[in-house]
Amino acid sequence: MSRSTTSEHSAAAVVAPEDAVGASTRYVARRHAEPQEPAQATGAVDDDAGGRHPSLKARALRLLARRDYTRAELAQRLASHAPDAAALQAVLNECVARGWLDEQRAVDSLLRRRAERWGAQRVQAELRARGVDAETLRAVRQRLDASELERALALWQQRFGRSPTDARERARQLRFLVARGFAADVARRVVPPASAGAPGDDGDA
């Protein structure tokens, strides 16, 4: 390739860089299988920032490209960068309208990541911390309760897989399940009694 051709290609790369917000917009749309390509986003930088800082919308898209957020959680992450509350709500509303921000999808995503290792109490605590409303929390609790014993047993088998040898070991196994958000009565149903005749075994924690 000649020097002139190389220079032309280099110049083109400098003159026509990919718009940062446009790229994030397309990535989020692909990630959530959006059939409609979003319209051209606002500028990649705040006008008042001298071209140095991403816009509020760009920040939202970058976060949503990594994982799903609840509305309250995303608002908290963006609040310190918003010029005012109205601007923040406008960005959040647009993200919801375009399908990039979806409360139920964020809840389902967390359940897929946590339900195998956590009990209902701990999952609910994290969802509550992320701003999920009470009605959704109740629905999630019903879903988790239906499989709570099965999930606790699977976790116990993966972690221990054998009956405790004495009362102290049983207590340790019970604490393991309770610490992960399983109810104490569920844990007691999962963890077998200590081996017969073991010193100090009282059949309970």
| CATH number of 199's domain | 1.10.10
Decide if 125 is inside a domain: yes
Residues 95 and 106 both lie in one domain:
no
**Cα 159 from Cα 24, distance rounded (Å):** 40
Q: What is the pLDDT of residue 35?
A: 35
Decide if 1 is inside a domain: no
Q: What is the pLDDT of residue 52?
A: 54
Q: Do residues 159 and 146 make contact, with C-beta atoms less than 8 angstroms apart? A: no
Decide if 114 is inside a domain: yes
Burial class, 30, CB count within 10 angstroms (exposed 0-12 / middle 13-18 / buried 19+): exposed
Q: Rounded to whole angstroms, what are the CA distances from 175 to 64, 166, 169, 187, 188? A: 36, 14, 10, 8, 10
Q: What is the pLDDT of residue 30?
A: 52
Q: What is the pLDDT of residue 31?
A: 54
Q: How many residues does the chain have?
A: 205
Residues 91 and 160 both lie in one domain:
no
Domain with 154 in it: 148-205
**Cα 123 from Cα 30, distance rounded (Å):** 28
Decide if 182 is inside a domain: yes
Decide if 26 is inside a domain: yes
Q: How many CB atoms lie within 10 A of CB 139?
A: 13
What is the pTM (predicted TM-score) of this model?
A: 0.65
User: Which residues of the chain are under the pLDDT cut of 70?
Assistant: 1-53, 196-205
* Tens digits of residue pLDDT in 66-76: 999 999 999 99
Burial class, 63, CB count within 10 angstroms (exposed 0-12 / middle 13-18 / buried 19+): buried
Decide if 88 is inside a domain: yes
Decide if 4 is inside a domain: no
Q: What is the pLDDT of residue 43?
A: 35
Decide if 75 is inside a domain: yes
Residues 168 and 107 both lie in one domain:
no
